[in-house]
A and B are shown apart, each in its own frame.
Chain A
Amino acid sequence: MGLETYEPLIKQLKNMLGQKERAAALYAAMKRGRDGRARTMQEFADFNEYRHGIRKIKERSIDNLDKLLERFMEEAQKRGAHVYVARDGPDAISYIMNILKQKQARLIIKSKSLTSEEIEFNEPFEKAGYEVYETDLGEWIMQVAREKPFHLVFPAVHKTTPEVAELFSRAYQKAIEGDISAIMKFVRETLRRIFLSADVGVSGANVAIAENGAIVLETNEGNGRLVTSIPKIHIVLMGMEKIVERVEDAIPLIRGHAVSATGQRTTTYVSIIAGRSPLAGDDGREMHIVILDNGRSRMREDSWFREALYCIRCGACMNICAPYSVSGGHVFGYIYPGPIGIPWTANVHGLDKAKFAHLCISCGLCKEICPAEIDIPMMIARVKELDVEKHGQLKVNRILESYESYAPILSSIAPLWNWLMRRGLVRALMEKLTGIDRNRPLPEFKRNTFMKWYRRNADRLRAGGSGKKVALFVDFFANYIEPQLAITLVEALARAGVEVVVPEQKTSGYPYILYGDLKEAEKVARYNVEKLYPYVKDGYDIISIEPTATYSLRESYPKLLNNSEESLAIASKTYEALEYLWMLVQQGKIAVEKTLSGRAGFHIPCHERGLSYGKYAIALLREAGLDVEIRETGMCCGMAGTFGLKKGTLGIELSLAIGEQLFKQFKDNNLDFIVTESSVCKIQLEQGTGLQVFHPLKLLGDALRVA
């Protein structure tokens, strides 16, 4: 039932994965955005603090939206602007259509407005006989090509120079040479005539300021200034969520927007427009402000989606999104592309248009880059859940979301299971039955799990001595696959006089989030929080080896459990295993011997980016004598938990396509091996690079001594 709804998505994706040139252009655009951002962030005392400030402004503004809306309308009206709140797209369009009829307008010029795209503004006006011109270059190219934007900030990034020249040549029956300066000359001259004769200018608003009824418009090309100054009528079409209270609230949003989008300090032009100015004394000019609801009021009341209203449309989330990097805005988007495009599409265009949610691999990096710290991954999980409820779950997802719960059985028959998994025929059969790709090497289960070892050693490990006590959150991998990692860790802790206990627990449950089963995810979170909380209350620190497990405790559980006191207490006491070891080294309780040599490339797993960027692991490895360098694209390696294990386009094919850029980084250098803290990234990197991949604890092993 409903599973055929995946088919168009898979078909589109498959088509896109074949277009390497487009992917390369897109990758370059994304990298440009990320690199620019990283550069300009340095000019801030602490950009993360700055992000936090932006979030607070948006929280406050959305909390007080009713009052701010009223104030904004009042102030704008005092200045002579006409203000209208439109319930949805058709309402906004018919209101504007009426104005234009009354004024007998013909020619409409637009500066880039995503809100106008949201309601598909152009089509009805063109049908009604108006001439409509997009004047932002990228938008104009898309308008002439009759396409939707490929990227939020660079809408036409997938078009080459000759393609653009040909497009305009054909549309305007004029020979335009295929070089940028010829195109630019054509663009400037053609649109200049349009600017000078337009009756109506339509703009969006990046921010609206309640205290003085002003709107803020940010552009680079200068089209926004012309659109809002030359025509008799200026129409502002803005989303309801754009209103802030004061000028002081607008400024960080203006900066945060530009820095996050391209690394500019602000866009070249920032126009703060209050009321309609006369033109050379002519004051018979009008300003109409249409404030669009279109689902926003509903989103505000929805505890899952309220945060989407904090979005300032910078597009940074799509610059860091690995599946977007190989699929592009036409596949990974409807009108709003990229990660934040998923909750927005589901809410303003409908769940059916948001099927591309299933391209999300839950790496979590969109949250890390977002200037308003929006928990985009959790909203996407919710969209997946709603879609699954309506259309059913893919079998392979159903199996993989709960595969960790089979671990006890598989581990009890480990020798047989591992033997079976090495048989091609068995894997082929398994692929057919489950959808797990036969070409992915699966980690082998150990019969002697960490927990078995722990039970034999529990009393000894409880001895302590230093007054420090930790509760270990083992998770799946360190228990069933590589128990030696956990043993190394707790032995080192024990030697340093730290008391170690292992409370009753389930594995993190993060795969439920990946596959959009938030109810199960919440159950697991509730269980683990209930079991761990008594220890935290009793003064224990929680540590975990796997970045995803640490991330679950710190970030996901509080969100799943509505920021319950217990979940927050645990989050505040949770450490990465290597962070904890490094702390003990700093305190002189553990010494690191120089047992390592060679040159390693370090891969930062996505969830580790939400923690400490691997800095503790790197510090320990360097202390032990290893030459370690980070190699990164800044994005996910493509494995994304179990996503890359799946057969087909929406699995291993997408996964390896994503990995390509990262594999190059490791292969182009003379590295002896790779180090990473994630068990699943290891599978992807070994397969993609041919190099061996180790967990830092495996390398450190006996280097960790009593000081």
Chain B
Amino acid sequence: MKELESIIQLFKDRFEQQAGRVYEAETLDEAVSKLSSILLEQNVKRVAVAGMNEQVRERIKESLASVGMKVIEPRDGNAHEIINSAEAGVTLASFAVADIGAIAEITNDDADRLVSSLPGIHACLLQRQNIIDTFENSAQLIRNALSSSQSCVVSLIGGPSRTGDIELKLVLGVHGPHQVHVIIFG
């Protein structure tokens, strides 16, 4: 238990050092309400939600709708245009890796990847027990994910999109989100 705490702390330290933001919540409910308040604070009106566990998705939709946000579920039509119209994207991380300070998303549909790619703000829920200590120790998990279906993308995300291409000055949010919020729960 103590070990898990230090792994979580390491993830938090490194992810924040990379300009991401981390919050902790006891329960899923608490996490979802934290999510709503983060997005409210950022004045978000339209939110894209990625495909995820049905139960979690319904809770998120409910909570965001109750504070007046429009929830977009890009499951048909012109998915990329629709996601692009959202100010924030919400995902559920499959796992996170502490020593590289990154969350990992396992996706089988690229619409889910776009939810964390196109909007300016990315908020992500992460279950406490799914934080792995080292990148090396996530190898088997990555292999399993890749071999479980015909097509699969494992995306490691270590904070907001960034560049230093002009005069080495750090700028966040080039083509991806300029803010990444991770809410740890459970």
Given contacts A221-B176, A281-B76, are A180 and B166 in contact (CB under 8 A)?
A: yes
Establish whether residues B117 and A225, one from each chain, have CB atoms under 8 Å apart when the complex forms.
yes
How many chain A residues touch B (Cβ–Cβ < 8 Å)?
A: 67
Would you call A195 and B175 a contact (CB within 8 A)?
Answer: yes
Taken together as a complex, chains A and B put the C-alpha atoms of A230 and B79 apart, in Å, by 9
B157 nearest CB neighbor, chain A only: A269
Bound state CA distance, A348 and B118, in angstroms? 37
A/B pair count, beta carbons within 8 Å: 193
The verdict on A144 contacting chain B, using a C-beta distance below 8 Å, is no
- The answer on a CB contact under 8 Å between A268 and B162 is yes
Q: Mark B111-152, 1 if CB is under 8 A from A, else 0.
A: 101100110000000000000000110111011001100111
Chain A residues closer than 8 Å to B146, beta-carbon distance: 212, 214, 247, 272, 274
Q: What 0/1 pattern do residues 252 to 283 of A give for CB contact below 8 A with B?
A: 10110000001011111111111111111100
The residue from A28, A29, A183, A225 contacting B155, defined by CB atoms under 8 A apart:
A225
Tell me if B110 is interfacial: C-beta within 8 Å of chain A: yes
Give the distance to chain B from A590, nearest Cβ to Cβ, in Å.
44
Q: Are A265 and B114 in contact (CB under 8 A)?
A: no
Interface string of B93-123 (1 = CB under 8 A from A): 0000001111000011111011001100000
Q: Whole-angstrom distance from the CB of B164 to the nearest CB of chain A?
A: 7
B-side contacts of A226, CB under 8 Å: 114, 117-118, 175
Report yes or no: A79 in contact with B151, Cβ–Cβ below 8 A: yes
Is B164 a contact of A154 with CB atoms below 8 Å? yes
Considering residues A164, A181, A230, A281, which has the most beta carbons from chain B within 10 angstroms of its beta carbon? Answer: A230
- Determine the residue in chain B with the shortest Cβ distance to A213: B146
Residue among B117, B164, B167 with the most chain A CB within 10 A?
A: B167
- Chain A residues, CB < 8 A from B99: 43, 265
Shortest beta-carbon distance, B50 to chain A, in Å?
Answer: 11
B74 touches A280 (CB 8 A): yes
Contact A272-B154, Cβ < 8 Å, known A222-B161, A226-B117: yes
Query: Which residues of chain B are within 8 angstroms of A188 by Cβ–Cβ distance?
Result: 173-175
The reply to whether A248 and B174 contact each other, CB–CB distance below 8 Å, is no
Closest to A183 in B: B166
Name the segment of A134-142, A552-560, A579-587, A693-701 touching the other chain: A134-142
For A278, the chain B residues whose CB sits under 8 A away are 108-110, 151
Assess whether A220 is interfacial by the CB under 8 Å rule: yes
Choose one: B18, B75, B135, B153; the contact of A281 (CB below 8 Å).
Answer: B75
Chain B residues with Cβ below 8 Å from A246 are 139, 143
B14 to chain A, nearest CB (A): 7
B79:A280 contact, CB within 8 angstroms: yes
Instruction: Chain B residues near A300: list those with CB within 8 A.
Output: none
Contact between chains at A271 and B154 (CB < 8 Å): yes
B contact residues around A230 at 8 Å (CB) = 80, 110, 114
A residues 205-251 near B (Cβ < 8 Å) are 211-212, 214, 220-223, 225-226, 229-230, 246-248, 251
B77: which A residues are within 8 A, CB to CB? 280
Segment 191-205 of A: residues with Cβ below 8 Å from B: 191-192, 195-196
| Chain A residues near B136 (CB-CB < 8 A) | 248, 251-252
Across the interface, do A220 and B162 meet the contact criterion of CB distance under 8 Å?
A: yes
Complex-state Cα separation, A180 to B169, whole angstroms = 9
B151 touches A229 (CB 8 A): no
> Which of A1-9, A155-163, A354-362, A504-512 makes up part of the contact surface?
A155-163
Shortest C-beta distance, A151 to chain B (Å), equals 10
A442 part of interface (Cβ distance < 8 Å):
no
Q: Does B4 contact A (CB under 8 A)?
A: no
CA distance A138 to B171 in the complex (A): 13
B1 in contact (CB, < 8 A):
no
Whether the Cβ atoms of B166 and A280 lie closer than 8 Å is: no
> What is the minimal beta-carbon distance from A323 to any residue of chain B, in angstroms?
21
Question: In the complex, what residues of B have CB within 8 A of residue A183's CB?
Answer: 166
B163 on interface, CB distance cutoff 8 Å? yes
A249's closest neighbor in chain B, by CB?
B139
Q: Which residues of B contact A223 (CB under 8 A)?
A: 174-175
A195 to B81, CA, bound (A): 10
Distance in angstroms from B176 CB to nearest chain A CB is 3
- B79's nearest neighbour on chain A, judged by CB, is A280
- Show 10 residue pairs from A and B whose CB-CB distance is below 8 angstroms, ordered by the A residue: A137-B174, A159-B166, A183-B166, A265-B99, A265-B101, A270-B102, A271-B155, A273-B153, A279-B80, A281-B75
Seen from chain B, the residues whose Cβ lies within 8 Å of a Cβ on chain A are: 14, 18, 74-77, 79-81, 84, 99-102, 107-111, 113-114, 117-118, 135-136, 138-140, 142-143, 146-147, 150-169, 171, 173-177
Q: Which 3 A-B pairs have the closest CB atoms?
A: A222-B176, A275-B151, A280-B79
